Structure 1
Amino acid sequence: NPELKWRQNEGFLHQNVVLQEKLLKSALKLLKPSGILVYSTCSLYPEEGELQILKILNHFEPIELPKWFSPSYKIGHQHIPGTGRLFPATHQTKGFFIAKFKKK
């Protein structure tokens, strides 16, 4: 959406983060034991990616992030196992964040 860049601001980001957290929590509650859930955003903001995942891991048990993503998909030295990022300049795609959850 070409107009999106003009609508993005801190309030817009906060709205997305709140909605994504609600959707993710609802989906995880429905997940059966050994069930897998993939959470993905087309965003480069850590608030919609890594920070969202850390919040979920602190509130949901028994949930794990199986190690599945290539270590080349990390931000600097920070990498949460079971997550990954795609960057426009590196991977010739739009920016994405991906996490794979597994219920124990």
Structure 2
Amino acid sequence: MLITIDETLAKQVCDELHIDQTDEELATVTALLNGSQAIIDDSVELAIYPDIVDTPLYVRAIITLGQAMYYDRNLVTGQPKAVILMVDHLNAICLAKGAG
């Protein structure tokens, strides 16, 4: 089941980043989380192991990329190394589970 990017998750991210939870900021964070989910989904072998979306690491990868995009909308320096590591780990899980 894909996670739902909603106000609750946006508020969690705002809390983590110590951002005021105004309507504008919540809308921005929600949009960035939706974009980061699309990127993570395209980066992970969901077809091999779709249940990966239920893991905490999947959600953390979305949040971490969304946080990076909050401060650097164009990702001028690329994806954070932590996101790359998480995607690699998620793909390893997908491949291991898919092979079983």
TM over 0.5: no
Higher helix share: 2
Please identify which structure carries the higher strand content.
1
- When normalised by structure 1's length, the TM-score is 0.29
